[in-house]
Chain A
Amino acid sequence: MIVLALLLAQAAPVARGERIFAQSCSVGYCHGVAGAAGRGPRLRGRSFAKDYLYGVIRDGIPSSAMPAWKDRLKDDDIRAVVEYVASLATASDAPATANPMPPGVGPASQPVFSGTPQAARGRALFSDPVRENCAVCHAVAGRGIAIGPDLTAAPASELLSRIHSKESRHVLTASLQSGERFAALLVSQTGDEVRLYDLTSTPPVLRTFARSQVVSLVQNPAWRHDDVSKNYSGAQLEDIVAYLRWAATGP
């Protein structure tokens, strides 16, 4: 009886790991049904050290399609998947059964956003695909493209006025030998090379010039940020502020 209970206890993580694997690792082009190989490598019939599996599943493989699962799965779940993948070492070439993913169950979830519903709305609006959005030029909490200033740095009380403010302190006017002039952010001047963000269109263009091509770079106090109320309503901007507050206070 005790032996049976021990066996069950050992089998349980494998079964749980199998279910999580089916939901998260078999999907799409990844590891295929029961590790039969897809764009990701075959896992059936191969021996891996459990430490290695745990590390790869938890942290992913940099610059590859293998993501880090530590933000999406609980540690227990990662360990269950390790047990399941390790159990495939003696599996035959082809999976015997269909994928054991229960109907109506999606892949393992990323963590639920921890902010308020208002902040969650703001988070979506920040990179909303329906309009010219903030994330084209600003990064917040690791999302978006960091060309303009980091908005989370502003004091909470000033956030809304900062967003509405069309003024900017860092914008220059670049004048080129060709006669072209445009509003610019200076990125670098090294050797013979000048790199500028051209703010004429969104997304801004990172342009590289020989120093001799650039006649002058002068402060451009007249430059104004586009009016954000063109793209967002007042209520939507309040939502975005709620998101920025959430980001500033440490998600």
Chain B
Amino acid sequence: MKSRIGVAVCALVSILSAQDGSTHADWPHYGGQRSAWRYSALDQINRSNVSRLQAVWAFQTGKVDGGFNATPLVVDGVMYVSSSWNRVFAIDAATGREIWHYFYQNPREIGIIYSPWTRGVAVGLGRVFFGTLDNNVVALDRATGRELWRVNVEDIRQCGCNITGAPLLVKDKVVVGVTGGDSAHRGYLTAYDVNTGRRAWRFWTIPGPGEKGHETWEGESWKSGGGATWLTGSYDPELDLLYWGVGNPAADFYGEARKGADLYTDSIIALDPDTGKLKWYYQEVPHDVWDFDAAFECVLFDAPVNGVPRKLLLNVNKGGYTFVIDRTNGEFVSAWPVAENINWITGVDSKGNLLGRNEPPVGKPALMCPSIGGGRQWNHGSYSPRTGWFYTTGIEWCQELTVTPEEPKEGVNFMAGVFHLKPPIHGPAGGHLDAYDPVTGKKFWTYPSKYPLLASQLSTAGDLVFSGDPEGNFFALDAHTGQKLWSFPTGSGHRGSSITYSVRGRQYVATPSGWGSALAGLMPQVWPETEDFPPGSTMFVFALPPESR
């Protein structure tokens, strides 16, 4: 009897401590909550009424270069969002009225090696944080948009790096990543004190001399080895661990000068958020020669594995495989593909080892699948605790890649290869949005698309999955079947991340609309007509008409 009570108590504790990553009225962090579910518990808009969804306001950012790639945040009825060329806005989330804007002018003409887009801001402790194209971290007063502090992290002309990802707020620190994975740069992740802007810690994603892991780099290659932290990580408050995905090693395609595993590129790192000290890591792709980042979102969720409840972390690798690991210790759990056309490996074994590595030859063209655009792009998937499924996209495309050795040079690209996108040999090029069991990868439904889908997914307690396509349609699918229930033409393609929130009891769905980015630039190599797809940069917001609620 005694032991039975013990079991019951344990079960209760594990339910209570299960990660809840749902958002409610607000959308406070980049990934919704810091578990990156991109799931909302709001259900006013649901399968039975979504067909009556109407546009209620639109907001123009005024700069269309590079597309509108951001995730808006909403806190206490105010939307905070950034757009190309360092523009930040605070907007009344119910009406679309601008409250303030902050335009940061680059103080000098700079080459924008990673182009003028930005993916969002962090909000909290009375401040709005974002990164600039010329590598400044900026803190603004949340109420007024006035600048409070700013730090110029590194000279962009030297590092060939800048900040395009959204920062993440953890306790009294704001954690900021960096681009530069395709430059001769040594990557890092840095935390700043939210009040003063003083650097709290820095974690170098490539260990220096004398540090563990330094031996996985050859010669001086560690100094220019990439390892960018160009997207946004996750945080588990119960374990007090900060997770961040690290990008590819540089030069991207030529690995002879950096023989070894090249830690911690293509890895998930778990850090102590107070000190920046490494707790553990899991490397998905040792010695990457394909540019297959592990930089995408880290989805933190709890699920049984072989009947045992586990605390898990899911990360879709750019190479098209999803890796699931134990987020308490980094132990490998499973890996499963999101794309059909994958030839750089033949699979992943039960321990996480890559099988049948197909490394591109040096100096002569080879067909590699997926293309540099990835078996999936960076735009984020969504985990719904109602279905227990993970919704994400996959892309079918390949590239003819010619590896061309090159020397690292200050401030310019360091990729060592030339590529031209091609359709797969078997079957057409295209995209799809799918529903998966996040642990096993079992696919429940698929929504096919002529073009790669390059916008994030949003799932809700209304059993809906929202996303957008390159032709400018924003749409809602039935989370259980994948059936399309509603669609709205916004006039420019979707490259950002939609969200949902509520103000005074009314639920809204917001999506950035604005075609652009590196991938949009490459797509004409396979789909010539996409060259003429119109750019844009508009926030569209939808709600049910009052009488439908």
Residue interface bits A99-126, CB-to-B below 8 A is 1, else 0: 1011111110110000000000000000
Q: Chain B's interface: helix, strand, loop or mixed, by majority?
A: loop
Binding-face segment, A12-20, A26-34, A154-162, A241-249: A26-34
30 pairs from A and B in contact (CB 8 Å cutoff): A22-B418, A27-B404, A27-B415, A28-B415, A28-B417, A30-B413, A32-B420, A33-B400, A33-B418, A36-B525, A37-B525, A39-B522, A99-B402, A106-B407, A106-B416, A107-B412, A109-B409, A110-B410, A135-B155, A136-B154, A139-B155, A143-B155, A145-B155, A147-B152, A198-B196, A198-B197, A206-B150, A206-B197, A207-B196, A208-B149
| Cα of A85 to Cα of B149 in the assembled complex, Å | 46
A129 with B223: CB separation less than 8 A: yes
In the complex, chain B residues whose CB is within 8 Å of the CB of A107:
406, 412-413
B402 with A98: CB separation less than 8 A: yes
* B429-480 interface (Cβ within 8 A of A): none
In the complex, chain A residues whose CB is within 8 Å of the CB of B404:
23, 27, 101, 103-106
Residue interface bits A200-222, CB-to-B below 8 A is 1, else 0: 11111111100000000000000
Known: A32-B420, A37-B524, A63-B106. A205 touches B415 (CB 8 A): no
* A87-107 interface (Cβ within 8 A of B): 93, 95, 98-99, 101-107
Contact of A29 among B109, B199, B521 (CB under 8 A): B521
Known: A29-B521, A36-B420, A67-B111. A98 touches B155 (CB 8 A): no
Contact of B158 among A27, A33, A127, A147 (CB under 8 A): A127
In the complex, chain A residues whose CB is within 8 Å of the CB of B525:
32, 36-38
A177 contacts chain B at the CB level, 8 A cutoff: no
| Cα of A226 to Cα of B10 in the assembled complex, Å | 54
In the complex, chain A residues whose CB is within 8 Å of the CB of B362:
103
Chain A contact residues, CB within 8 Å of chain B: 22-23, 26-30, 32-33, 36-42, 60, 62-67, 93, 95, 98-99, 101-107, 109-110, 127, 129-130, 135-136, 139, 142-145, 147, 180, 198, 200-208
| Cα of A101 to Cα of B409 in the assembled complex, Å | 19
A42 with B524: CB separation less than 8 A: yes
Total residues of chain B contacting the partner, CB 8 A: 58
Q: Chain A's interface: helix, strand, loop or mixed, by majority?
A: loop
Q: Give min CB distance, B214 to chain A, whole Å.
A: 10
| Cα of A27 to Cα of B415 in the assembled complex, Å | 7
B75 contacts chain A at the CB level, 8 A cutoff: no
In the complex, chain A residues whose CB is within 8 Å of the CB of B307:
none
Residue interface bits B128-163, CB-to-A below 8 A is 1, else 0: 000000000000000000111111111101100000
B330 contacts chain A at the CB level, 8 A cutoff: no
Residue interface bits B50-77, CB-to-A below 8 A is 1, else 0: 0000000000000000000000000000
A201 with B198: CB separation less than 8 A: yes
A106 with B405: CB separation less than 8 A: yes
Known: A40-B521, A41-B521, A98-B400. 17 other contacts (CB 8 A): A27-B415, A29-B521, A32-B420, A32-B522, A33-B418, A36-B420, A98-B420, A101-B402, A103-B364, A103-B404, A130-B208, A130-B223, A200-B196, A205-B196, A206-B197, A207-B196, A207-B197
| Cα of A159 to Cα of B413 in the assembled complex, Å | 34
In the complex, chain B residues whose CB is within 8 Å of the CB of A66:
111
In the complex, chain B residues whose CB is within 8 Å of the CB of A201:
198-199
| Cα of A78 to Cα of B419 in the assembled complex, Å | 23
Q: Give min CB distance, A34 to chain B, whole Å.
A: 9
Known: A42-B531, A65-B111, A107-B406. A145 touches B521 (CB 8 A): no
Q: Please name the residue on chain B nearest to A207 by beta carbon.
A: B149
Known: A33-B420, A103-B362, A103-B404. A203 touches B524 (CB 8 A): no
Known: A28-B415, A33-B420, A145-B155. A202 touches B521 (CB 8 A): no
Contact of B365 among A27, A99, A104, A139 (CB under 8 A): A99
B9 contacts chain A at the CB level, 8 A cutoff: no
In the complex, chain B residues whose CB is within 8 Å of the CB of A36:
420, 524-525
Contact of B522 among A22, A37, A98, A130 (CB under 8 A): A37
In the complex, chain B residues whose CB is within 8 Å of the CB of A98:
364-365, 400, 402, 420
B405 with A205: CB separation less than 8 A: no
| Cα of A202 to Cα of B154 in the assembled complex, Å | 11
A63 with B109: CB separation less than 8 A: yes
| Cα of A65 to Cα of B113 in the assembled complex, Å | 5
Contact of A208 among B111, B147, B196, B531 (CB under 8 A): B147
Q: Please name the residue on chain A nearest to B422 by beta carbon.
A: A94
Q: Which interface residue of B151, B363, B531 has the most chain A CB atoms within 10 A?
A: B151
Contact of B418 among A27, A60, A144 (CB under 8 A): A27
A202 with B420: CB separation less than 8 A: no
Contact of B112 among A63, A109, A145, A205 (CB under 8 A): A63
| Cα of A30 to Cα of B223 in the assembled complex, Å | 24
B425 contacts chain A at the CB level, 8 A cutoff: no
A135 with B158: CB separation less than 8 A: yes
B152 with A203: CB separation less than 8 A: yes
Q: Which interface residue of A26, A129, A142 has the most chain B CB atoms within 10 A?
A: A129
B345 contacts chain A at the CB level, 8 A cutoff: no
Residue interface bits B178-211, CB-to-A below 8 A is 1, else 0: 0000100110000000001111000000001100
B521 with A37: CB separation less than 8 A: yes
B305 contacts chain A at the CB level, 8 A cutoff: no
A205 with B106: CB separation less than 8 A: no
Q: Please name the residue on chain B nearest to A65 by beta carbon.
A: B112
In the complex, chain A residues whose CB is within 8 Å of the CB of B372:
29
Contact of B150 among A32, A95, A205 (CB under 8 A): A205
In the complex, chain A residues whose CB is within 8 Å of the CB of B110:
63
In the complex, chain B residues whose CB is within 8 Å of the CB of A101:
402, 404, 418
Q: Give min CB distance, B380 to chain A, whole Å.
A: 21
Q: Which 10 A-B pairs have the closest CB atoms?
A: A103-B363, A106-B406, A205-B197, A201-B198, A28-B413, A98-B365, A39-B521, A28-B415, A33-B420, A129-B186
B19 contacts chain A at the CB level, 8 A cutoff: no
Q: Give min CB distance, A140 to chain B, whole Å.
A: 11
B418 with A99: CB separation less than 8 A: yes
Q: Please name the residue on chain B nearest to A135 by beta carbon.
A: B155
A142 with B157: CB separation less than 8 A: yes
| Cα of A208 to Cα of B405 in the assembled complex, Å | 46
| Cα of A28 to Cα of B518 in the assembled complex, Å | 10
B528 contacts chain A at the CB level, 8 A cutoff: yes
| Cα of A99 to Cα of B409 in the assembled complex, Å | 22
A27 with B106: CB separation less than 8 A: no
Q: Give min CB distance, A58 to chain B, whole Å.
A: 14
| Cα of A65 to Cα of B116 in the assembled complex, Å | 9
Known: A37-B521, A37-B525, A106-B407. A206 touches B151 (CB 8 A): yes
Q: Give min CB distance, A95 to chain B, whole Å.
A: 7
Q: Which interface residue of B208, B364, B404 has the most chain A CB atoms within 10 A?
A: B404
| Cα of A36 to Cα of B521 in the assembled complex, Å | 10
B182 with A28: CB separation less than 8 A: yes
A208 with B148: CB separation less than 8 A: yes
B152 with A145: CB separation less than 8 A: yes
| Cα of A145 to Cα of B156 in the assembled complex, Å | 9
Q: Give min CB distance, B19 to chain A, whole Å.
A: 34
| Cα of A129 to Cα of B221 in the assembled complex, Å | 12
B521 with A144: CB separation less than 8 A: no
B115 with A39: CB separation less than 8 A: yes
